[in-house]
Amino acid sequence: MVSRLWVFCALLVCSLPFLGPLPALAQPPSTELVIFGEGDDVFSRYGHVGIRVFSNDRDQIYNFGITNWERPNYVLDFLQGRVRFYGKASNWGRELARYTKWDRSVTRYPLQLDEAARAELVKRLDVLVLPENREYVYDTFRENCSTRLRDLLDQVTGGAVRRQLEGGPPGDSFRDDVRRAFADFPALLLLMEVVPGRELDRPRHRWERTYRPAVLGELLSKVRMGEGDTERTLLGAPIVERTRKAGPALGGFVHLGQAVLFALAGLLVFLGSRSPRWTTRGRGLVALTVLALMCGTALVLSLVPVISAWPEMRENWLLLALPPLDLVLFLPVVRLWRRGEVGLSRGFELYLAVRAATTLLLIALAPVSTTFAGPIAAECLALAGLFLLWRTLRSSYRG
């Protein structure tokens, strides 16, 4: 029996060279953070980001910035804060071809995660793109393609990303970002100077600013992982896949919206100073037009927080400079326009004085207080409108 066992062992040892090497344990796929540069379209002004997962048998990019841009009432749904986006895993080669066609810059950053973290990241990505999990309510500043990947990386690194990015001195506000991104869209710039509230003006910390893909890439490259000999940055050296041929997508005068509002304010002051030389009916027509625009803007600003879930659409200090109560001024303005009757009662003069004082106070506090930060140009325009109304309506009459 013993001799047979020895013979079996000898045969087994002799056969080992013919068995070949033992199969290696399966390695998790490699992962990269892919930053896509800004484009020409409105929806591409902040750029885009995805995570590429690739191995011998797969090469996919996980993208959480997909929506139906042609859905009915898209603009209204967006303003109300209820547009739904979703995530999807796509073929990397086809996705790269699309961004090449759109002339977008593409830069890849290897994610220097250990094997366990890489495996966990891929697992979480696969779960998030399942039909039952893939949709989310989009928020430009808090829940978008960039923040979802930021949060995933924070989870698989044990909170290291948030610990290192949160805090520190505040930087630019969201309104600063909007001005840069849409500097060549004048109408949108004007709307963003008037409609959003003070939340858009709050200086933002690094963690909050990672809603922008380019900022996410910049800040994640400074996040450090491991200790001692294994210490490293979360992102490896950038690999430039392609650069935009048409030059930078962002351009234009970032303060164009403010400049237009200041110019309009100057025009109203000029018209108000010249109004005593006009006929009473002419003064009434100008006053009626300006008051209608002021009250229309006030009504819009009052309705926006009601219909929109965006935090940036609330607490707009401009409502103190353009209150809906200005509707009472239609009484003397219509008398001036329809009947040529000039003059202000003491009550109306007091109302205009209080309104002017309130607006001046807002303008004075805006540069020195984050609480009262807001669109100074729009407040100056409101003050100029008050000046024009006062000049067109005043006379020696006292009622």
Q: Pairing state of beta strands 58-66 and 224-225?
A: unpaired
For the chain, the straight-line distance linking the first and the last C-alpha, in angstroms and rounded, comes to 129
Kindly compute the dihedral angle of the four CA atoms of residues 240, 241, 245, 251, in this order, to the nearest 10 degrees: -60
The span from the CA of 139 to the CA of 87, in Å, is: 14
Fold of 30-168+205-242: endopeptidase fold (from Nostoc punctiforme) (3.90.1720)
- For residue 67, give every residue at least 6 positions away whose Cβ sits within 8 Å of its Cβ, in sequence order, or none: 83, 84, 85, 86, 138
pLDDT single digits (tens) 265-296:
999 999 999 988 888 888 899 999 999 999 99
Q: What is the pLDDT along the chain (399 residues), one digit of tens a residue?
A: 445 544 444 444 444 454 445 444 568 899 999 999 999 998 899 999 999 999 999 999 999 999 987 778 887 888 888 899 999 999 999 999 999 999 999 999 999 999 999 999 999 999 999 999 999 999 999 999 999 999 999 999 999 999 999 988 888 999 999 999 999 999 999 999 999 998 999 999 999 999 999 999 999 999 999 888 889 999 999 999 999 999 899 989 999 999 999 999 999 999 999 988 888 888 899 999 999 999 999 999 999 999 999 999 998 999 999 999 999 999 999 888 887 777 778 889 899 999 999 999 999 998 888 778 778 999 999 999 999 999 998 853 333
Both structure tokens of 266: 């100057």
Over the stretch 146-180, which tens digit does the pLDDT of each residue have?
Answer: 999 999 999 999 999 999 999 888 889 999 999 99
Q: Which two tokens stand for residue 203?
A: 């200086």
Q: Report d(CA 324, CA 295) in Å as an integer.
A: 6
The pLDDT assigned to 2 comes to: 46
3-state secondary structure of 103: coil
Burial of 9 per CB tally in 10 Å (0-12, 13-18, 19+)? exposed
What is the model's pTM? Answer: 0.86
- The phi and psi torsions of 139 (rounded to 5 degrees) equal -140, 120
CA atoms in the 13 A half-sphere facing the CB of 72? 0
pLDDT confidence of residue 3 = 52
Say if CB 215 and CB 382 are below 8 A apart. Answer: no
108 Cβ partners below 8 Å, 6+ apart?
A: 32, 33, 34, 35, 52, 238, 239, 241
pLDDT for 12 equals: 45
Cα(356)–Cα(353) distance, rounded to whole angstroms? Answer: 5
Range(s) within the chain of domains with CATH label 3.90.1720: 30-168+205-242
How far is residue 91 from each of residues 59, 87, 233, 312, measured CA to CA in Å?
6, 13, 27, 36
Residue 328, SS3 per DSSP: helix
